[in-house]
Amino acid sequence: MRDWDADTLLLINEQPSALPLLAALEDAIYTRFPETKRRVRKTQISYYHRTVFACVSLARVKRKAELPKTWLTLTLGLNYPLDSPRVAAKTEAYPGRWTTHIVLGAPEDVDGELLSWLEEAYAFSERK
């Protein structure tokens, strides 16, 4: 069992069953990008090196009935609109920057496809 800091536990308090999902995501992020820093705010955890490349939250980006019992929302910053059935919502925050929300429902959702998107988001953030 991972030793979570108080701010993370407070953020995830609504859904403590999502902690294994958060652990899987963070393990993947820190394995690929060991220099990543994290900042826990009231509503999200941001992951960044020079600039933010991903955030995780309990934001509802689908109707409640469409969400899995346990879930987290991963938000990525990309330079294009990601076209995948896994994308719950996407908006062009400003020209050439797309905010993309993906609902994760199980640790297995942190798969090769998702990791490739994380890598793209990381690379995009590093070019800023």
pLDDT tens across 3-21, in order? 899 999 999 999 999 999 9
State the pLDDT at residue 3.
87
Residue 41 DSSP symbol: -
Query: How much is the pLDDT for 1?
Result: 61
Pick out the chain residues at pLDDT < 70.
Answer: 1
Q: Comparing C-alpha atoms, which of 69, 128, 126, 67 is closest to residue 102?
A: 67
For residue 125, what are the CA distances in angstroms to 48, 51, 60, 103? 8, 6, 24, 21
Query: What residue has token string 């020079």?
Result: 50
pTM for this predicted structure:
0.95
SS3 66: helix
Do residues 54 and 120 touch, judged by C-beta distance below 8 A? Answer: no
The pLDDT tens digits for 85-96 are 999 999 999 999
